[in-house]
Amino acid sequence: MDTDQTIPAEIIRSPHNVKIIAIAAAIILVIALLLVLLMKGGDDQAKSSLSTRNEVGQTYVANSPEMIGVESGTAVIGTDQFPEDRNSPVRKLEMDSFHISKYEVTNRQYMEFIRKTGHQPPSGEFWPAGHFRSGEEDFPVVGISRDDASDYCRYYGMRLPTEEEWEFAARTGEGSYFPWGDAVDSSGGNIASGYPVKVGESKRDVNAIGVHDLAGNVREWTSSEADMKSQQGYTVRFYVIRGGSWEKLSGIENARFTNRGFVREGDVRAGSNALGFRCVVDER
């Protein structure tokens, strides 16, 4: 029996067969390219999903703020008792759920943000030569503008709180004027002490849901704005800040949850040594 399976050369050289082989090869190449593209797309989608999970919700990328949940509900905003707080009349707002930073953003966290993004470091005495002082890595970052604070929050998939969110989160639970109740007591937090301290160090400056340093340490940027009339009668825009601070000139009234502070629009890029921030993230 003839067992020679060699294909005759004339069959291979047939123009018709060469054309079929070329078409088949082209089809195989197209299928291979499609498979590669599909695999890459799936990998990119997985990476994108991982990035979203890391930056938004309960799980955060390394060095981003630890968060506290704030349940939706009716917020009682403002006060009619203290006109100096510039936050009247009392009004009620329906608020959605969100998360807020447990602590003010620290020097350590902000330095990691700088390292990852190349963002300009803070200015002022607490960041000489573009770096925070030794031993102050867990102090609240200061000397930054509202734009800087907003950039930091955005990098981690978050944002600055509105002033209403800040007050709602601060007063949640007890509805009082200070974390320790309604008593006027400047010893309850790092208020007018002359120097900032490590976040969370003031053990009485923590509210009912576990948010720290709302009454003292540093004042905090919000995303809210306010227009006011000058003595000359023209409108001036300000950015709203909340909370008390370590500054000697910062009285106990600034520590009230209802107190509103203001930074003129033209000064928004000049960060204060007593002004920091915390972030919020919407409920997903």
Give the chain's mean pLDDT.
83
- In this structure, how many other beta carbons lie within 10 angstroms of the beta carbon of residue 95? 20
Rounded mean pLDDT of 1-10? 44
Higher pLDDT, 27 or 127: 127
Strands (E), 14-166: 67-70, 73-77, 91-95, 98-101
Q: Are 236 and 266 in contact (CB under 8 A)?
A: no
Strands (E), 87-232: 91-95, 98-101, 219-229
Which H/E stretch holds residue 34?
helix 15-55
What's the pTM? 0.77
Rounded mean pLDDT of 219-243? 93
pLDDT tens sequence across 102-139: 999 999 999 999 999 999 999 889 999 999 999 999 99
The CATH number of 65-282 is: 3.90.1580.10
At residue 56 the predicted structure's pLDDT band, cuts being 50, 70 and 90, is very low
Report the alpha-carbon distance of residue 60 to residue 67 in Å, rounded: 9
Q: Report whether pLDDT(231) > 50.
A: yes
Q: Are strands 235-242 and 261-264 parallel, antiparallel or unpaired?
A: antiparallel
Q: Report whether pLDDT(192) > 80.
A: yes
Report the alpha-carbon distance of residue 63 to residue 59 in Å, rounded: 11
